[in-house]
Amino acid sequence: MQTVGRYLLALLLTVALEGGVAWLFGFRTGKSQLIVAMVNCITNPILNLLLLALAWQGVPVSLLLVTLLEVLVVLVEWRLLEYNLGGSKGRLLLLSFAANTTSFLAGVVLFWRVTG
């Protein structure tokens, strides 16, 4: 149960942080904030389950691997935001990059364990 709690906490922090970044980018309506939250409720659990499955299969979950997967998340979220919010592709890509960088760095600070 402790693991589930960590993943829920990570999801809640991601939704809050990325919603805050979206708000700073001017996406302040309830609809746009809900879209940002829902996009994160899709991508965050998928990413974390993938990392968990890779670790279970013996794949070392390195900072490089997580960073590469985060790049994929940025691209997926960008396209989902573009589809649901419309507007400037460049601005939405920057939003996706800034929001995911923020939550990624928070995750590194709060959850990353150096082992070895």
Dig out the tokens for 13 from the structure.
Answer: 């922090």
What per-residue confidence (pLDDT) applies to 4? 83
Each residue's pLDDT tens digit, 22-76: 999 999 999 999 999 999 999 999 999 999 999 999 999 898 999 999 999 999 9
Supply 108's token pair.
């590194």
Cα(18)–Cα(36) distance, integer angstroms:
7
**How far is it, in rounded angstroms, from Cα 110 to Cα 25?**
25
Closest CA to 63 of 22, 115, 11, 23: 115
The verdict on pTM exceeding 0.75 is: yes
Candidates 92, 91, 42, 50; CA nearest to 68 is 50
